[in-house]
Amino acid sequence: MRTFLFVGNLKMNLLSQDEAEQYLSVLKREMQGKTFENTLGILCPPAVYLHLFESLPSGIVSGAQNASFEKNGPYTGEISPVMLKSDGIEYVILGHSERRVHFGETDEMVKRKVDAALKYLLQPIVCIGESETERKRQETVSVLEKQVRSVFAGLSKLQAEKIILAYEPRWAIGTDLLPTTTEIFEVRVLLRKILTELFDGATAERIRILYGGSVKSAFLHAVSFDAEMDGVLVGRESLFPYEVVKMMSLFEENAKQEV
């Protein structure tokens, strides 16, 4: 039975330690009596609160929102993957569209970050996706292929299987617009095809693919179950602990129905 992933990207929110502690208090209350055997929650808070997220309810672990491509050195404001690993972090989001758009991260920069994360034994959650302009120009396939081939270039099968891909069309993030279930499924098929060409069919099946972009619990069937994705990357709705637990519960129910 496969394990579904719920990744919550809290972004630059929770503006004080009190807010962060209140969030965690509500989350723990909502999780009471819940057990998750086939669903893993990964919550990625701002880096300054990672220490507060060390003690999470069973079924949820913490992750980072970003990491540097360097181990150490004169990189003011950056966070080394070694720092994250030594702090007990296992997962890190890389290449999010907001970092690509606002901070100029290129495919080449994201690739360097992926390689560094793997080198220091972190699991990268790598975001890929087309812009609205690229979608209108019908360039989705070529954009995704370029991004994926860049991410996996030079990796062994074992390294490749550590990567989690998150398909986040840029035009859908924060807009309440969604691709159709068919479009998401077609992206899944495309990514599996590319990964099979790079490695083999078995390896491609072991690389998990998530959907992200305006995800809500009401849309979960359309963007994940029906599209045969392995989970979701959630931004705005992950700020509400009730929604986190609700979506994880829906994943758990669906997993049990697949038996």
The answer to whether 167 and 179 have CB atoms below 8 angstroms apart is no
Residue tagged active-site, from 98, 161, 168, 243: 168
Both structure tokens of 77: 């404001």
Both structure tokens of 121: 């034994």
Residue tagged active-site, from 96, 105, 130, 161: 96
Domains of the chain in sequence order: 4-257 (3.20.20.70)
What span, in angstroms and rounded, lies between the C-alpha atoms of 126 and 253? 26
Is 96 among the residues known to form the active site?
Answer: yes
The answer to whether 39 and 251 have CB atoms below 8 angstroms apart is yes
State the burial class of residue 44 (Cβ atoms within 10 Å of its Cβ: 0-12, 13-18, 19+). buried
Contacts of 89 (CB under 8 A, 6+ apart): 50, 62, 63, 64, 122
Residue 26 exposure: Cα atoms within 13 Å on the Cβ side: 13
Both structure tokens of 120: 């220091």
Contacts of 244 (CB under 8 A, 6+ apart): 6, 8, 27, 30, 41, 43, 234, 237, 238
The pLDDT tens digits along the chain (259 residues) read: 678 999 999 999 999 999 999 999 999 999 999 999 999 999 999 999 999 999 999 999 999 999 999 999 999 999 999 999 999 999 999 999 999 999 999 999 999 999 999 999 999 999 999 999 999 999 999 999 999 999 999 999 999 999 999 999 999 887 878 999 999 999 999 999 999 999 999 999 999 999 999 899 999 999 999 999 999 999 999 999 999 999 999 999 988 887 6
Q: What is the pTM of this model?
A: 0.96
pLDDT digits (tens, 9 = 90+) for 145-190: 999 999 999 999 999 999 999 999 999 887 878 999 999 999 999 9
Q: Is the dihedral of CA 216, 65, 13, 169 positive or negative?
A: negative
Which residues are paired to 63 by β-bridges?
91
